[in-house]
Amino acid sequence: MTRKRYRIVNKVRFTAFVCAMILLIIFAGGALFGYGRSEAMDIDRYIEVKVQPGDTLWSLASAYGPADQDVRNVICEIEDLNGISASSLQAGQYLTIPVK
């Protein structure tokens, strides 16, 4: 029984084919095992706080908000999250406040 021998006729085409197959295997393996998946570095967390008499948005943002953010930005986010303004703040209501 004779064995058929194969010869590489065009080295450039063969090299391009091998490189394409290697890249295809790498990308397919990455997609299959989730290596290209990205996740957020900062996950937003929130707490719910009951407003006490004398509380202001500034005092709540200073006490509970992220330390690395400007208090004014935290106040704006509290207003947006809760659909309120500083003038409509009342004791006894619950506010969602972002923390990191």
What does the block give as tokens for 37?
């998946």
d(CA 54, CA 47): 20
Specify if 24 maps to a domain: yes
- Domain co-membership, 71 together with 89: yes
- Domain co-membership, 14 together with 58: no
- Domain co-membership, 81 together with 57: yes
- Look-up: residue for tokens 């085409």? 13
Cβ 61 vs Cβ 97: under 8 Å: yes
- Domain co-membership, 28 together with 64: no
Specify if 2 maps to a domain: no
pLDDT tens across the length of the chain (100 residues): 788 888 888 999 999 999 999 999 988 887 777 766 666 666 678 999 999 999 999 999 999 988 888 999 999 999 999 999 888 999 999 999 998 6
Print the domain residue range for 21: 7-38
